Structure 1
Amino acid sequence: MLLLLHAGLLYDCPVLVPSAAAVIALDAALIGIARRQKISFGPVAEQLVILHLPRLAVSLLTMAIGVWDSRWILPLLFWGSSQLAGFAVYVYGYLVGPRRVQLSEEELSVDSLSSASLASGTPVSALKILHLSDLHMEYWSLREEQILALVKQSEPDIIALTGDYFNLSFIEDTVSEADLERFLLSLAREATVVACTGSPKVDDRKRTTDLMRRAGVVLMRNEFVQLNVRGHELQLVGVDCDHRQKVDTERAIEILGGAREDLFTVLLFHSPEIMPAVKELSVDLYLCGHTHGGQVRAPFYGALITSSATGKRYEMGRYEENGTTLYVNRGVGFEGNGAPRFRILCPPEAVLWRIGPATEAE
């Protein structure tokens, strides 16, 4: 079908049709290489359709240029250079951008964590929280292996997960779910793992609850837990995300209303969409994901798409507002269905937080 579309657009220059066929074959091969290298496992046909929308636009522009260049020198140069440049971008996006999980390290000074060390008279080392988001498990990949290595290396006290564990292309795939369970079990063997749910279409509530129970993960659904970790007292709050900003905000306000204001408080919520309200509450650290950092970013502009009601306001990284620290994680996996499994200028991310009084966190 794609070749027929190219042929239709290139009717005045049939010599390019075999080249269009070669481009389609190269893109399909690229998706296959990503699968063999355990980078991504998405459906081929659906991805090819999305990948070729810009390629078809190039063919259309080529015909427009050919209207006033009867010798077809400029159109041929334009078509060839554009398609090659596109392929180079695709190679980077499929094989380079998502290959290695980047460990981001953040520090946070919080006076409310100093009480335990002051009471005991013994300095307490900084609390370490490793934040992961948007796993979107397809099958076991290089990224899962890298994350487990990072966990062993960083030795976190707590691992916080902020939703979207499944992938829309693999919702009914039992092997994918088994791989996800194996990964979560591996995390739970290394540290206390706490989590919230993700987008309703991705993380079916019953399925997610059952999975987390089997894996030994503390899934917080509109509730909070209070912990004492090596002398650090804190509370973690998990709120379900429905992507209905008003409903989600009201729910978060209600849950946080029952929490202790004097304890260091970490909110786990899938998206950054409730930050305008949360920054007015007693939340020290708000961890989320959802945006994938755009997954594809343009120089000097950033995320092309965030799929968030707050748009580009909170697209990626750290934000400080009114005493609340928000961190929007770029995530680990990819969008599902026909979305191309690539990352451009937006590598997958794990975030290690070191939290304590100023003398401990610095």
Structure 2
Amino acid sequence: MFLTRRSFIKKMLYSGLGLLGLSGGGYYYAHYIEPEMLSKKIHTLTHSNIPRSFNNIKVIQFSDIHLGFHYTVDQFQTLVQNIQAEKPDLILFTGDLVDKPHRYSFNSDIPNILNQLNAPLGKYWIYGNHDHGGYGTEKLEAVMSNGGFTLLKNESTQISYNGESFTLAGLDDVMLGKPDLEGTLGIISEQSFTILLVHEPDIADTVKNYPIDVQLSGHSHGGQIRIPLLGAMVTPPYAEKYVDGKHTISDQLTLYVSRGIGTTRMPYRFLCKPEYSIFTLQSNQ
């Protein structure tokens, strides 16, 4: 079977990270140092449909924790403290709380930590593929609910402030769930500023056919391993086209892809620091 250059590099990456220079000090950095280098991405969302009441409202997105795969409850506690220190108005989680729900020993620690997050306009979440995997669907829903988060599963809600509002929508996971784009997005008003939460970013090429202004996604981990000139080396299905950062999909739709917090499949990050995102809303009416 013929291998492209990119496929060949990926195979070499899995068989031995040393072939890409991640040996010795580089291996130590990728395994132990960079995964702890939590960063934040700061964005401004400006749109004529954002009500003036929402000027300077702060929205925080975090994604892809993957508790249990080289990410501990103590690390999660530190993350939550960092997020709360930002004084968010609205908190959004875009999926994959636990790496393998069917093997994870759930207790009250996670809901207790989640309840330390406070946001006057609410806390919302969507399923990721790992949240559905391993029969974790009901477990994760209970954990997040007990932590004060509201699930958006093929539904939308109005975020209201000072008598004005915008639309927040969420889709079920693309890979292992049953996302209903038409039923969820087909009824949204074109006059309402709308943020959509969906775990897998590549679905943006279909979302652009609906009146959505901003799509927030995760899933990609930014590739976890990024090599200069070659880019992301590890990209899961539905995160192969849009891997990291901001993408203008159409005249209306802008996509933001978070690198997420934890790791999966391989416990490494190289030139791909974990992150949470801060969005400040601005009306240009």
Q: TM-score, normalised by structure 2?
A: 0.84
CA contact (8 A) 1:51 1:340 kept: no
- In the alignment, what sits opposite 1:193? 123
CA contact (8 A) 1:196 1:240 kept: yes
Q: How many residues align?
A: 268
**1:190/1:259 CA distance change after superposition, 3 Å:** closer
**1:52/1:291 CA distance change after superposition, 3 Å:** closer
1:162 counterpart = 2:91 = no
Post-superposition offset of 1:151: 2.4
1:347 counterpart = 2:277 = no
What is the aligned counterpart of 1:173 among 92, 104, 107?
104
- In the alignment, what sits opposite 1:213? 145
The superposition leaves residues 111-163 of structure 1 with CA deviations (integer Å, 9 ceiling, x where unpaired) of 1113x54xxxxxx53221100000111221335414422322x2111111011
Paired AA for residue 212 in structure 2: V
**1:127/1:353 CA distance change after superposition, 3 Å:** same
The superposition leaves residues 57-94 of structure 1 with CA deviations (integer Å, 9 ceiling, x where unpaired) of 97xxxxxxxxxxxxxxxxxxxxxxx99x6121211112
- Superposed, 1:136-285 pairs within 5 Å as 136-138=66-68, 139-142=72-75, 144-152=77-85, 154-168=86-100, 171-174=102-105, 177-188=107-118, 192-199=122-129, 200-201=132-133, 204-230=136-162, 232-243=164-175, 248=179, 251-285=180-214
What is the aligned counterpart of 1:133 among 46, 52, 63?
63
Sequence identity percentage: 26
1:314 counterpart = 2:233 = no
- Superposed, 1:333-344 pairs within 5 Å as 333-335=262-264, 339-344=265-270
CA contact (8 A) 2:220 2:239 kept: no
Please give the alpha-carbon distance, in whole angstroms, between the structure 1 residues aligned to 2:224 and 2:123. Answer: 25
Post-superposition offset of 1:203: 7.5
Please give the alpha-carbon distance, in whole angstroms, between the structure 2 residues aligned to 1:52 and 1:277. Answer: 32
Paired AA for residue 62 in structure 2: L
The superposition leaves residues 193-245 of structure 1 with CA deviations (integer Å, 9 ceiling, x where unpaired) of 10111102167221122112211111111111112135551111111114179
Q: TM-score, normalised by structure 1?
A: 0.67
Please give the alpha-carbon distance, in whole angstroms, between the structure 2 residues aligned to 1:242 and 1:353. Answer: 24
Paired AA for residue 105 in structure 1: I
1:290 counterpart = 2:252 = no
> Secondary structure at 2:24's aligned position in 1?
helix
Structure whose residues are more often helix by fraction = 1
- The answer for unaligned runs of 5 or more in structure 1 is 1-49, 59-81, 118-123
CA RMSD for the aligned pairs? 2.7
> Secondary structure at 2:41's aligned position in 1?
strand
> Secondary structure at 1:213's aligned position in 2?
helix
The superposition leaves residues 35-54 of structure 1 with CA deviations (integer Å, 9 ceiling, x where unpaired) of xxxxxxxxxxxxxxx99942
Please give the alpha-carbon distance, in whole angstroms, between the structure 1 residues aligned to 2:134 and 2:232. Answer: 22
Paired AA for residue 206 in structure 1: E
CA contact (8 A) 1:129 1:160 kept: yes
**1:144/1:51 CA distance change after superposition, 3 Å:** farther
The superposition leaves residues 284-303 of structure 1 with CA deviations (integer Å, 9 ceiling, x where unpaired) of 11001001001111112221
Please give the alpha-carbon distance, in whole angstroms, between the structure 2 residues aligned to 1:356 and 1:52. Answer: 44
Please give the alpha-carbon distance, in whole angstroms, between the structure 1 residues aligned to 2:156 and 2:14. Answer: 46
CA contact (8 A) 1:225 1:237 kept: yes
Post-superposition offset of 1:280: 2.1
- Superposed, 1:35-184 pairs within 5 Å as 53-54=15-16, 86-114=23-51, 116-117=52-53, 125-138=55-68, 139-142=72-75, 144-152=77-85, 154-168=86-100, 171-174=102-105, 177-184=107-114
- The answer for unaligned runs of 5 or more in structure 2 is 1-11
- In the alignment, what sits opposite 2:6? none
1:327 counterpart = 2:259 = no
